[in-house]
């Protein structure tokens, strides 16, 4: 087994989903730490602070991004994150996570080269474990 994911990040306003994912990550010990943001703007503000403070060790290894959120949705977050992502040396694996099965959403998500994959909620436990294992192999 590879190196454990140090820091994972969930950007999602669905409290039930977030709590479920947090429990899975804790029980299965998939990540050392977890960042949780209720919308894209909260997450973007966090990343901008890291960028200005040059504290890349506080960047997540993996991000799970919901599409439908208030304030700033996943699409808006992706549009803004692309602008600052190249300022980070660290490789960040980003998954779009949505209950939408609309093929247009899938295509749109895949049009962003920083999106590793599009996952449909609910995500199976085995899939979660595989994601974290794949991420370890890259590290």
**3-state SS assignment for residue 93:** strand
Strand-pairing partners, residue 98, are 120
- Of 9, 59, 13, nearest to 39 by C-alpha is 13
Please indicate, yes or no, if residue 97 is contained in any of the structural domains: yes
Please indicate, yes or no, if residue 137 is contained in any of the structural domains: no
Please indicate, yes or no, if residue 110 is contained in any of the structural domains: yes
Using CA atoms, how far apart are residues 123 and 35, in angstroms rounded to an integer? 19
| pLDDT tens profile 50-101 | 888 887 788 999 999 999 999 999 999 999 999 998 888 888 999 999 999 9
Note down the domain range covering 42. 7-132
Please indicate, yes or no, if residue 68 is contained in any of the structural domains: yes
Please indicate, yes or no, if residue 1 is contained in any of the structural domains: no
| pLDDT tens profile 89-132 | 888 999 999 999 999 999 999 999 999 999 999 888 888 888 88
Number of domains in the chain: 1
Q: 5-11 and 62-66 as β-strands: parallel, antiparallel, unpaired? A: parallel
CATH code where residue 91 lies: 3.40.50.2300
User: Alpha carbon 83 to chain centroid distance?
Assistant: 17
Does residue 122 have a cis bond before it (omega within 30 degrees)? yes
């Amino acid at each position: 087994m590879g190196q454990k994911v140090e820091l994972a990040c969930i950007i999602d306003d669905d409290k039930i989903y977030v709590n479920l994912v947090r429990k899975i990550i804790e029980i299965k010990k998939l990540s050392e730490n977890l960042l949780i943001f209720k919308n894209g703007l909260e997450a973007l503000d966090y990343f901008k602070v890291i960028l200005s403070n040059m504290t890349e060790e506080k960047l997540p290894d993996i991000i799970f991004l919901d599409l439908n959120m208030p304030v700033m949705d996943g699409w808006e977050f992706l549009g803004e994150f692309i602008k600052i992502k190249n300022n980070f040396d660290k490789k960040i694996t980003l998954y779009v996570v949505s209950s939408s099965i609309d093929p247009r959403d899938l295509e749109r998500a895949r049009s962003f080269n920083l999106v590793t994959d599009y996952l449909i909620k609910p995500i199976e436990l085995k899939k979660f474990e595989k994601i974290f294992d794949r991420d370890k192999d890259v590290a």
